[in-house]
Amino acid sequence: MNDNHSNDTTHFGFRDVPKEEKQKLVGRVFSSVADSYDLMNDLMSLGIHRVWKRYFVATSSVSKGDRVLDLAGGTGDIAALLKDRVGADGEIVLGDINGAMLRVGRDRMTNRGNVRGFDYVQMNAEKLPFPDNSFDLVTIAFGLRNVTEKDAALREMHRVLKIGGQARVLEFSEVTADWFKPIYDFHSFKVLPRLGKLFANDADSYQYLAESIRKHPPQKELEGMMADAGFARCDYRNLSGGIVAIHTGYKV
């Protein structure tokens, strides 16, 4: 693990903070960026996040009529794409711990005309308010790295899945090409906070988000964490040279 802290502390970006403080600090970040969340993702990924999300959903195991839980659902991008896959008889629960993000997502979905088949629930991924075996698919896109107890969240994802169900994690990960790493670091730590200041008047939140990517478990480590949480057939696929990775696991 790339964390060096005691059992009572965790990382908030590159800072060590008490575990009970991280949720509040992350909440402030996402309350701050909620209205500019798509802009944030465009700045962080140079616009490619839209392609990653479409691929993430297109390669998921989901069928007409399925029930899906989209964790850290934010502004509804993944949920909107999933709706086309589950159809009129399917159900999507869009969950987020941050009320401001959830409101932005609900308003955006309503403006798009996506009203039926969606539920919006403010929830903590570490303690999901659903019974066992409730969903055919559980997704979390660009959210796991902000969870304090990632192991607990993965166990909860496994618990609420039906037998045979699939969990999918889309997350910024570890760049694989050595030549690209200094370029990526320069963009993350020099360019991104300045863009955040310029476009959203919020350099600090963007600095945190760049740091949180570096503190997130790399591909092989997260694959092992999913196996430890009970998932079978754990696998991952790098996109864009490992800037992001899609992790997959099944409940058997």
The verdict on whether residue 203 carries a ligand-binding annotation is no
Distance CA 14, CA 104 (A): 28
Known binder of ligand: residue 75? yes
DSSP string, 139-175: EEES-GGG-S-HHHHHHHHHHHEEEEEEEEEEEE---
Residue 124 is labelled as binding a ligand: yes
Write the CA distances from 211 to 136, 205, 214, 227, 242, integer angstroms.
33, 10, 5, 26, 16
Query: 């308003």: which residue's tokens?
Result: 107
Task: Tell me, rounded to whole angstroms, the distance of Cα 129 from its chain centroid.
Answer: 18
Residue 98, annotated as binding a ligand:
no
Question: Which amino acids are annotated as binding site for S-adenosyl-L-methionine, given as ranges?
Answer: 75, 96, 124-125
Question: Which amino acids are annotated as binding site, given as ranges?
Answer: 75, 96, 124-125
